[in-house]
Amino acid sequence: MTRKLIVGNWKMNGSLAANHDLLHAINAGLTSSSCQAAVCVPAPYFAQVQHLCASSSLLWGAQDVSASDSGAFTGEVSAAMLRDFGVRYALVGHSERRQYHGETDEVVALKAQRALSAGITPIVCVGETLAQREAGQTAEVVKRQLAAVIHTNGHCISEIVVAYEPVWAIGTGKTATPEQAQEVHAMLRHQLSAASAHADKIAILYGGSMNASNAASLLSQQDIDGGLVGGASLKAADFLSIVAAASQ
Ligand code: PEP
């Protein structure tokens, strides 16, 4: 990977007024073309974000997509609906979805499939909990999570983005060290190369308390192709600092 990708995950934050100010500030500060930036936003704001990003290099995406095509699935948003708004990326399998909504590896794999078939790039999130890391299960857990997605989407696996997000680092202020993250990223790359001749082109992002101070050292690792950024994506200056670090 040459061009890094920095994706903000706004989670359930924002308002029409706050989004307007944030996107104006980000768009005004995005100068570099050596890094691709994107934001994943709450579904009610798709039309607003589509409008505000229409002539910007900032790409944008959704935070989830339904595993079903259409029909009696109250509250769900389908891949076709995302496509109607020109959504470019969809997070799938974020640890908060796995934890609070019981999403299994199989459901996450189906969500990735729905996104891909609508021409949307799924950002497939994998990561271990603290208990799993302490029990020495990190490799087993992340490989199992990714294997389900490869199994269902093998033919177009080179079209996905992967995000390694250790659950213990999300929103906690505890970041994996660059070496800890690189070790897992190298493992994921190896797993992807068994499934695709183009594994070197698949972006593997790191997520978990990435901020302006730690971004450069994480992003300097060989297999870290960018970042998935939660808290720090809600302040334009912080997000732009990470984008700048990724543009070095
Ligand atoms: C996330 O929500 O994907 C994330 C990485 O959050 P934070 O940066 O706040 O840890």
Query: Measured from the CB, is residue 230 less than 6 Å from ligand 1?
Result: yes
Q: Provide the annotated active-site residues.
A: 94, 165
What's the average model confidence in pLDDT over 71-90?
98
If pLDDT is split at 50, 70 and 90, which confidence band does 1 have?
low
Specify the pLDDT at position 3.
Answer: 92
Q: Which residue has its alpha carbon closest to ligand 1 atom 3?
A: 230
Q: Are strands 59-62 and 89-92 parallel, antiparallel or unpaired?
A: parallel
214 lines ligand 1 (CB under 6 A): no
CA–centroid distance, residue 18 to ligand 1 (Å): 19
pTM over 0.75: yes
Domain enclosing residue 119, as ranges: 5-246
Distance CA 18, CA 25 (A): 11
Name the percent of the chain lying above pLDDT 70: 99
Return the number of other C-beta atoms located less than 10 Å from residue 149's C-beta. 27
Tokens for 197, please give them: 């001749």
CB of 228 within 6 A of ligand 1: the answer is yes
Coil, strand or helix at 244: helix
Which atom of ligand 1 approaches the CA of 229 most closely?
A: 8
Residue 71 in tokens: 């029909």
> Mean pLDDT across the stretch 62-68?
98
Q: Check residue 2 and give its pLDDT.
A: 73
CA of 211 to the centre of ligand 1 (A): 10
pLDDT tens digits, one per residue of 84-101: 999 999 999 999 999 999
- Vertex 144, ends 140 and 147: CA angle to 5°? 135
Q: Is 238 in the pocket of ligand 1 (CB under 6 A)?
A: no
Region 70-90 average pLDDT: 98
**Tokens standing for 100?**
């609070």
**What is the CATH classification number for the domain harbouring 13?**
3.20.20.70
String of b and e for 39-75 (b: at least 16 CB within 10 Å)?
bbbbeebbeebeebbeeeebbbbbbbbbbeeeeeeee
The count of domains in the chain is 1
SS3 161: strand
Per-residue pLDDT band for 32 (boundaries 50, 70, 90) equals low
* Backbone dihedral angles phi then psi of residue 136, each to the nearest 5 degrees: 75, 25
pLDDT at 198: 93
Quick one: which of 224, 142, 154 has its CA closest to 186?
A: 224
Look over the chain and give the mean of its residue pLDDT values, rounded to a whole number: 96
pLDDT digit string (tens) for 108-154? Answer: 999 999 999 999 999 999 999 999 999 999 999 999 999 999 999 98
Position in ligand 1 atom list of the atom nearest CA 211: 8
Predicted local confidence at residue 8, as pLDDT: 98
Residue that is written with structure tokens 């950002």 in the block: 123
